Amino acid sequence: MDIRTQDPSLAGSFFLYSPRFITQAYLIDSGYTGDLAGRPYWKTMFDVYSVRFVITPFMQFGGDLIPLVGLLLDDPDWTPVFISGNSVVFVQKGRDNGHVIETYGQRKEDFIARLISVCNDMIRSTPGNAFPYIAKGDILLRSGRLEEALLSYRNALRVSPLNPAARSRIQQLEQMRNPR
């Protein structure tokens, strides 16, 4: 079944409730980069369904940065245009979104700084919650700011000593710093 032939108002959206679409959405959200038709899976699926914008949380429950957000930040064809709380919006470059990018487009470096600022706001409002520390660490790590990421993960562990994500990331970063 081709979604575009069923309901043209759904063009560009991915929120359907069938096992096939749920699986596809999961693979996209999780950042699955396996090859499909000679391109990363998520890019091919976005083309198949004419996805030209993405509205998503940037942080999963547990604090992990949603992998798709990292892929969109790394991809030159996508521009961040909005952030509020845990919600972000990216639009694909092209004639359909030119006016949106011109009006609301943000440099990726500035957008990353805003993501970190949102995490800092969450930390201030819920200082005993490890999740924003983990998200901040993930963003810093993606930005190559290893020492700051390590500090953020250690802070997550300070407020939640048994947090497996914080422990795992600290271990990975310490191995990167001190390869055997």
User: Can you give the CATH number for the domain in which 81 is found?
Assistant: 1.25.40.10
Domain contains 9: no
Domain contains 43: no
Per-residue pLDDT, averaged over 95-117, amounts to 93
The token pair at 79 is 């521009």
Counting the structural domains of the chain, the total is 1
Higher pLDDT, 162 or 1: 162
Domain contains 1: no
Domain contains 88: yes
Q: Average pLDDT, whole number, for the chain?
A: 85
Question: What pLDDT is stored for residue 3 in this prediction?
Answer: 40
Domain contains 26: no
Question: What pLDDT is stored for residue 17 in this prediction?
Answer: 53
Domain contains 19: no
Q: How would residue 137 be classed by pLDDT, with cut points 50, 70 and 90?
A: very high
Range of the domain at 86: 52-177
Domain contains 116: yes
One-letter identity of residue 73:
L
Asked which of 7-21, 66-80, 91-105 is least confident by mean pLDDT, the reply is 7-21
pTM for the complete prediction?
0.81
Question: What pLDDT is stored for residue 6 in this prediction?
Answer: 47
Q: How would residue 178 be classed by pLDDT, with cut points 50, 70 and 90?
A: confident
Domain contains 39: no
* Model confidence at 80: pLDDT above 50: yes
